[in-house]
């Protein structure tokens, strides 16, 4: 199949196929949203059917839920499970610390809730999403419709005090009307160009009244699978083991001084 795809889609397909190899019979799986995740859902459904696997799937959007059901997967809500073994999702950007920007499909609220309930989060992507510094992709910020202009003003105030290279905010529109998330909220896209301190910005945006969620995913992803146009893939794991130099410095700080 990958021979008939564009280079970008072939990369997404390769990553999706590699990711479903991580799934075992009996697992509860979070299903992401977006074009790359759609390939994963198709691949997962085929594997489950071919191998007679019993899986419980928690989708991150209504469109993913519809696709999964149509392909014969068992779909439940987040409140119907105690935990999720692994969530597989795409990303609009990721950096070397496995921090992500998500929300191009306006599903980042549910995506973050499902990822936070998971033991693991695997991101599937193509090489174009690999960045040194987050921010080239506009940061989606989900806000409630009531008083959204005031919320946008407060967002701009936070951005003015943040280490970013751009501060333009735009209400996401489609066909002349605001885009609505599955929760009935609006999305404001912040064109930041470069985010020097994603952790600080994440906390500052979360404190704004009216902001429901934003697309910075920090500390949630532990594995990235990058698919290439030739059908090959590479896997990057989050290294949670501190460098020995850091360990020695921490131990030295605990020693009594003369």
Question: For tokens 């500052």, what's the residue?
Answer: 204
CA nearest neighbour of 138 among 177, 110, 169: 169
Q: Which residues pair with 178 in a beta bridge?
A: 173
Active-site residue (options: 9, 111, 142, 152): 111
Instruction: Give the number of other Cβ atoms within 10 Å of residue 240's Cβ.
Output: 6
Strand order of the β-sheet with 168-171 is 168-171, 186-191, 139-143, 211-214
111 belongs to the catalytic site:
yes
Tokens standing for residue 174: 């489609």
Region for residue 52 given its phi and psi (left: phi exceeds 0; alpha: psi -120 to 50; beta: otherwise): left
Which residues belong to the active site?
Answer: 111
């Amino acid at each position: 199949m990958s021979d008939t795809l564009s280079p970008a889609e072939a990369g997404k397909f390769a990553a999706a196929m590699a990711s479903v190899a991580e799934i075992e019979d009996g697992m509860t799986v979070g299903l992401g949203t977006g074009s790359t995740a759609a390939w994963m859902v198709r691949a997962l459904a085929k594997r489950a059917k071919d191998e007679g696997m019993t899986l419980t799937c928690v989708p991150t959007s209504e469109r993913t839920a519809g696709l999964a059901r149509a392909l014969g997967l068992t779909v439940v809500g987040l409140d119907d499970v105690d935990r999720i073994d692994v969530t597989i999702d795409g990303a609009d950007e990721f950096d070397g610390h496995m921090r992500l920007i998500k929300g191009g499909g306006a599903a980042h609220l549910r995506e973050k809730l499902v990822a936070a309930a998971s033991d693991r989060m695997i991101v599937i992507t193509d090489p174009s999403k690999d960045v040194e510094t987050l921010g080239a992709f506009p940061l989606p910020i989900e806000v409630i419709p009531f008083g959204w202009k005031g919320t946008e003003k407060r967002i701009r105030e936070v951005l003015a005090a943040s280490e970013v290279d751009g501060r333009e905010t735009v209400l996401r529109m489609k066909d002349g009307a605001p885009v609505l998330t599955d929760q009935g909220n609006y999305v404001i896209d912040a064109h930041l160009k470069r985010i020097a301190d994603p952790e600080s910005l994440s906390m500052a945006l979360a404190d704004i009244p009216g902001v429901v969620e934003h697309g910075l995913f920090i500390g949630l992803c532990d594995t990235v699978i990058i698919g290439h146009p030739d059908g090959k893939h590479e896997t990057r794991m989050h290294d949670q083991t501190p460098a020995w130099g850091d360990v020695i410095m921490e131990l030295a700080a605990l020693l009594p001084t003369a």
